[in-house]
Amino acid sequence: MAARPQPYLEGLNPAQRAAVEQMDGPVLMLAGAGTGKTRALTARIVHLMNTGRARPNEILAVTFTNKAAREMKNRVGAMLGQPIEGMPWLGTFHAICVKLLRRHAELAGLKSNFTILDTDDQLRLLKQLITAEGIDDKRWPARMLAGIIDGWKNRALTPDKIPAADAGAYNHRGAEIYAQYQARLKELNATDFGDLLLHMVTIFQTHEDILKQYQRWFKYILVDEYQDTNVAQYLWLRLLAGGHKNICCVGDDDQSIYGWRGAEVGNILRFEKDFPGSHVVRLEQNYRSTPHILAAASGVIAGNQGRLGKTLWTEATEGEKLRLIGHWDGEEEARWIGDEVEAMQRGTRGLRPFSFDDMSILVRASHQMRAFEDRFLTIGLPYRVIGGPRFYERMEIRDAMAYFRVVTSPDDDLAFERIVNTPKRGLGNVAQQKIQIAARENGTNLVEGARILLAQNGLGGKGGKELRLLIEGIDRWASKLRGPRIAPPDEAVLDDGGPIRMEFGPPEVTHVELAEIILDESGYTAHWQNDKTPEAPGRLENVKELVKALDQFENLQGFLEHVSLIMDNEKEGEGEKVSIMTLHAAKGLEFPVVFLPGWEDGLFPSQRSMDESGQKGLEEERRLAYVGITRAEEICTISFAANRFVFGQWQNAMPSRFIDELPEEHVDVLTPPGLYGGNFGAAMPKSTLHETAAEANVYNSPGWRRLQSRSGARADSQPSGAKNMTIDMTASSSFTMGERVFHQKFGYGAIIGIEGDKLEVAFEKAGDKKVVARFLSAADD
């Protein structure tokens, strides 16, 4: 066939070109971040079509996310210079398998219109089975079993294939209930997520004719991010490629970050064994990042054992060093990054101006997003959260907030509806209807409706008992919110001299404590603690992060108002936005400017990976650090905070061990202007980065704090360069009577009373207020 123009080949380097032009047989493109693997893969698709090797619908191309699939489709169109008439088999493993399974559903005992259960449905179903078996689901939670079954499905294990080593799973009942669960799914004409692949693997394994048909149909197979495939995906690919073996996989063993979800980096290492005679292409030129960024990333990943090892080089000019900065706490970190983003957008950092679209913030744990979202909403900085809902839209946050809403305003029926059976209290639709009717008949809200229903003994059994406990709880929390009733009413005197009736004394607990009490006593916290799914710890952390956010407000109502206002303000609009996402969601992406906050031991690397024996978890965290740094094209900023609110309390945080692994010569240590009096950086000998970074902690160490509170040290008695570090996190305050101070919200004032860490301050604008010492700093004007 006459050769068509091939402009898409021109921009490629020889190694990429080889990977594109080697169309027949197995090809493995194994290369580091930013070396143009995805680009070469895309060009290969175009080349296959352009040379007439395959029609668009004969190419099977697997990407890791739907977003990546859309982008690849667009790029293929752009490279071809014409829109393609559809590539039905370009998508994620799941998207492709749904399509296949609909065609062959009957072979899996399903109808083609089967439904796909979400996690909630899946759990409900498992719970029914567990209950029917008389298993105590408090001891053996359904979620635990769900996790085990997912793990089996990731390894392509049907119930009859569970290995002896797993026989003890779920109190020796795992495999048996797994079988029941699969049978029940069939009756319901349903699958769960893991089934999509599992069914297709089984169908291919047991129906050779069908497998052959697809082996012929999919003339070429291409897989991006191959290092993160699990066993089931691997088997599926191997089956499909088993005929012609025209399979091209691209990946980077250093970017394997889904081991916790069953991915096996070993798949990439055994490719050459499975496909003898495969062409292995190595790409070494990085087109994404500056030399400093690349060197910093390479320095970190060098700490891992058993790597394939790769050299990376770039023609890019020097550029900026990686920037490292320490902050007082997470709020301060968010404030600084917000300021920095604005400054970079205006081009006032001595760098070229960047657009908001150019910038991203990549966090280790999703609860870290809260501080950024709050700050950005406050200063009106447009942002988008990629790969998940925004913080205040998350399920667990809405649940927790609904509890607060019911307690602060009992008329909030929507909030009551949300929490009445969350966690499960045996108050299903029937019970809820009865409450609704009682409320409507008496023209009152649902809380009162429930009270009336109970008084009439209108709800018996477990549900009745639980509802009574809930209503008692709401009453108790509401009384804590407003303080105890004073009976008989005391006379008190207003400022203007007139008497008022005091019905309630001052609250006995702070609103933060109250929030914790509500979440504990309602069983909501325990609900997530008992949850054994992988996402449960994250949800629990989010809830704790919410409680922490409360601390910045005077009371619960103020906080709820803040949230409803910011949520109302921030309707998704057009225009440029800063991207916020987890490191996991950032795979394959690139941004000129990247912020990597929260580099502290226990957060990144995660506590879990540090507690684990062996290096496996830690090495996966290190790969995640590598993924993070290599997303940056021009400016990469790593930050850490000296204090984090973890597990419900403030803790000293140590800078991440990964900071220590950054090669010093490629890093600039920045000085946070307001915090260290400007000469912090200069005052400290830069022996190692870690030490330099750790110095930020010095004035915050328990030892220093003790010293400080014993001597009643003042700002100006601290070592030079630490002038403003009088803010005390836990101990009694270090302020003195009459001292001039500054408060974020109330501005300047003078201290007129000291009571532990609570200070009374006469503010110039806001009047006399009691505030917590930690929100004050010495006024340095």
Least gap, CB of 251 to ligand ATP (angstroms):
8
Which partner, Mg ion, ligand ATP, none, binds residue 36 by CB below 5 to 8 Å per kind?
A: ligand ATP
38 near Mg ion, rule: CB under 5 A: yes
Name which of 583 and 741 has its Cβ closer to ligand ATP. 583
Measured in residues, the chain has a length of 781
Least gap, CB of 659 to Mg ion (angstroms):
26
Which of 150, 195, 224, 466 is the catalytic position? 224
Which partner, ligand ATP, Mg ion, none, binds residue 320 by CB below 5 to 8 Å per kind?
A: none
Going by the annotation, the residues of the binding site for ATP are 31-38
User: Using CB under 5 A, which of 174, 588, 602, 721 touches Mg ion?
Assistant: 588
Which partner, ligand ATP, Mg ion, none, binds residue 11 by CB below 5 to 8 Å per kind?
A: ligand ATP
CA distance 253 to 627: 11
**DSSP E strands: which ranges in 597-689?**
632-646, 649-652, 667-669
In sequence order, the β-bridge partners of residue 490 are 502
622 near ligand ATP, rule: CB under 6 A: no
355 near ligand ATP, rule: CB under 6 A: no
| Active site (annotated) includes residue 224 | yes
| Active site (annotated) includes residue 212 | no
Name which of 312 and 693 has its Cβ closer to ligand ATP. 312
16 near ligand ATP, rule: CB under 6 A: yes
CA distance 359 to 593: 5
Which of 150, 192, 225, 600 is the catalytic position? 225
720: exposed, middle or buried (Cβ count in 10 Å: 0-12, 13-18, 19+): exposed
Q: How many CB atoms lie within 10 A of CB 4?
A: 11
Which window, 29-37, 480-488, 513-521, 624-632, contacts Mg ion (CB under 5 A)? 29-37
Residue of minimal CB distance from ligand ATP?
Answer: 36
HEC profile for 81-113? Answer: CCCCCCCCCEECHHHHHHHHHHHCHHHHCCCCC
Runs of H (alpha helix) within 167-270: 169-172, 174-187, 193-206, 208-217, 231-241, 266-269
| Active site (annotated) includes residue 38 | yes
11 near ligand ATP, rule: CB under 6 A: yes
Name which of 247 and 512 has its Cβ closer to ligand ATP. 247
Name which of 314 and 708 has its Cβ closer to ligand ATP. 314
Least gap, CB of 29 to ligand ATP (angstroms):
8
Name which of 37 and 310 has its Cβ closer to Mg ion. 37
Q: Which of 127, 195, 257 is nearest to 531 (CA)?
A: 127
Question: Can you state the angle between helices 556-569 and 511-521, rounded to 10 degrees?
Answer: 80
How many chain residues interact with ligand ATP (CB under 6 A)? Answer: 19
CA distance 168 to 648: 35
> Which residue reads 């007129």 in tokens?
752
| Active site (annotated) includes residue 631 | yes
Q: In sequence order, what are the residues at sequence separation of 6 or more whose Cβ sits closer than 8 angstroms to the Cβ of residue 298?
A: 312
Which residues between 24 and 83 bind ligand ATP (CB under 6 A)? 31, 33-39
DSSP 457: T
Q: In sequence order, what are the residues at sequence separation of 6 or more whose Cβ sits closer than 8 angstroms to the Cβ of residue 50?
A: 4, 6, 8, 80
Which of 63, 255, 285, 368 is the catalytic position? 255
Which window, 5-13, 97-105, 407-415, 655-663, contacts ligand ATP (CB under 6 A)? 5-13
CA distance 117 to 98: 13
| Active site (annotated) includes residue 225 | yes
Least gap, CB of 289 to ligand ATP (angstroms):
9
397 near ligand ATP, rule: CB under 6 A: no
Which partner, ligand ATP, Mg ion, none, binds residue 34 by CB below 5 to 8 Å per kind?
A: ligand ATP
Going by the annotation, the residues of the binding site are 31-38
How do beta strands 279-281 and 747-755 pair?
A: unpaired
Distances (CA, A) of 562 to 373, 389, 546, 568, 627: 13, 19, 13, 10, 35
Amino acid at 218: F
User: Using CB under 6 A, which of 12, 107, 386, 779 touches ligand ATP?
Assistant: 12
User: Using CB under 6 A, which of 21, 190, 243, 287 touches ligand ATP?
Assistant: 287
Contact 342, 378 (CB under 8 A): no
Which window, 493-501, 556-564, 586-594, 663-671, contacts Mg ion (CB under 5 A)? 586-594
> Which residue reads 């009942």 in tokens?
173
Name which of 193 and 287 has its Cβ closer to ligand ATP. 287
> Which residue reads 């019970």 in tokens?
431
Least gap, CB of 148 to ligand ATP (angstroms):
32
Contacts by 389-396 with C-beta closer than 8 Å and gap 24+?
391/366, 391/367, 391/542, 391/545, 392/563, 392/566, 392/567, 393/567, 394/539, 394/542, 395/539, 396/528, 396/539, 396/540, 396/542, 396/543
Least gap, CB of 309 to ligand ATP (angstroms):
16
Which residues between 399 and 438 bind ligand ATP (CB under 6 A)? none
310 near ligand ATP, rule: CB under 6 A: no
Name which of 252 and 331 has its Cβ closer to ligand ATP. 252
Which partner, Mg ion, ligand ATP, none, binds residue 653 by CB below 5 to 8 Å per kind?
A: none
CA distance 90 to 44: 13
DSSP 523: T
Q: Which of 54, 124, 114 is nearest to 89 (CA)?
A: 54
Contact 62, 96 (CB under 8 A): yes
HEC profile for 426-452? Answer: CCCHHHHHHHHHHHHHCCCCHHHHHHH
Which partner, ligand ATP, Mg ion, none, binds residue 13 by CB below 5 to 8 Å per kind?
A: ligand ATP
User: Using CB under 6 A, which of 195, 228, 252, 373 touches ligand ATP?
Assistant: 252
Name which of 79 and 776 has its Cβ closer to ligand ATP. 79
Which partner, Mg ion, ligand ATP, none, binds residue 489 by CB below 5 to 8 Å per kind?
A: none
32 near Mg ion, rule: CB under 5 A: no
| Active site (annotated) includes residue 577 | no
* Catalytic annotation, residues: 37-38, 224-225, 255, 631
Binding site for Mg ion (CB under 5 A): 37-38, 588
The residues that touch ligand ATP, with contacts defined as CB under 6 A, are 11-13, 16, 31, 33-39, 252, 255, 287-288, 588, 590, 630
